[in-house]
């Protein structure tokens, strides 16, 4: 049993695990913050100012639709994730979600260089926001489960990382505005930034099980589950014998 083989708690050397937890927290809210901070870019594109001209100016209500189509899948797939964990391994859920978010951000960055009719651009952007929010819901629910295995301090660090996501997006926007590049290049640089950040989040997550401090808490959880399973099996066998 785990309690009988209890080891001394290893230390988080150089606070590497703490830094990774902050990065993971930032990765969960990065998509929302990057899309809401870039509302001016999307509204300009929807006015037909990126190489196309709409015959009639339409009010697409980007901010309202963006909020709806990001929060609705977030709610639905957070609920779905509460059942999904029973059939899909946590490692697969997190890794697949981060890879999907990376490709969707890369697709958004590619659209900066593509001239499209405002109606088409609006539809494609809303679909992208829906799918990114869907994967963010699975990612966020899964990572909360991982972080809960660590001491309470790490849950605080995770939420601090979520708060930093907004600052990170705002700084990226300021850098793109202050750069002397043209509008397209500035927007491209802005959307490439979350691609890099998402890759770093994925690398941090994959590195986590290889660190002694993280491995201690992750393995303890597995040992506790096995211990509980053995107790239930023994109890069932005793009842059957009786």
| Domain ranges for the chain | 17-210
Residue 149 pLDDT greater than 80, yes or no: yes
27: left (phi over 0), alpha (psi -120 to 50) or beta: alpha
Calculate the CA dihedral of residues 161, 86, 79, 103 and round it to 10 degrees.
60
Distances from the Cα of 233 to the Cα of 86, 221, 230, 236, angstroms: 19, 18, 5, 5
Residue 4 pLDDT greater than 60, yes or no: no
- The predicted pLDDT at position 170 comes to 87
Q: What is the mean pLDDT of residues 30-48?
A: 85
Residue 240 pLDDT greater than 70, yes or no: no
- pLDDT tens figures, 185-200: 888 888 898 999 999 9
Residue 122 pLDDT greater than 90, yes or no: yes
Average pLDDT of the chain is 82
Residue 236 pLDDT greater than 80, yes or no: no
Q: Quick one: 17-210 is in which CATH superfamily?
A: MFS general substrate transporter like domains (1.20.1250.20)
Residue 152 pLDDT greater than 50, yes or no: yes
């Amino acid at each position: 049993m785990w309690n009988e083989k209890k080891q001394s708690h290893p230390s988080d050397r150089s606070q590497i695990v703490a830094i990774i937890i902050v990065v993971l927290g930032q990765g969960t809210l990065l998509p929302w913050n990057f899309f809401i901070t870039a509302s001016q870019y999307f509204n300009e594109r929807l006015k037909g100012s990126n190489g196309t001209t709409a015959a009639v100016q339409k009010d697409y209500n980007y901010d309202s639709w963006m909020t709806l189509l990001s929060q609705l899948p977030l709610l639905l797939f957070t609920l779905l994730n509460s059942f999904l964990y029973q059939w899909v391994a946590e490692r697969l859920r997190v890794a697949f979600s981060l890879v999907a978010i990376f490709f969707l951000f890369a697709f958004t960055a590619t659209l900066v260089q593509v001239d499209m009719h405002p109606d088409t651009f609006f539809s494609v952007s809303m679909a992208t926001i829906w799918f990114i929010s869907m994967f963010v819901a699975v990612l966020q629910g899964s990572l909360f489960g991982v972080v809960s295995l660590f001491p309470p301090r790490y849950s605080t660090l995770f939420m601090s990382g979520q708060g930093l996501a907004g600052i990170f997006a705002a700084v990226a926007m300021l850098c793109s505005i202050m750069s002397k590049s043209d509008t397209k290049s500035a927007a491209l640089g802005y959307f490439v930034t979350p691609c890099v950040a998402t890759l770093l989040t994925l690398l941090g997550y994959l590195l986590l099980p290889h660190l002694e401090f993280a491995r201690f808490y992750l393995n303890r959880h597995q040992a506790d589950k096995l211990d509980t399973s053995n107790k239930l099996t023994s109890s069932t066998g005793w009842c059957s014998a009786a």
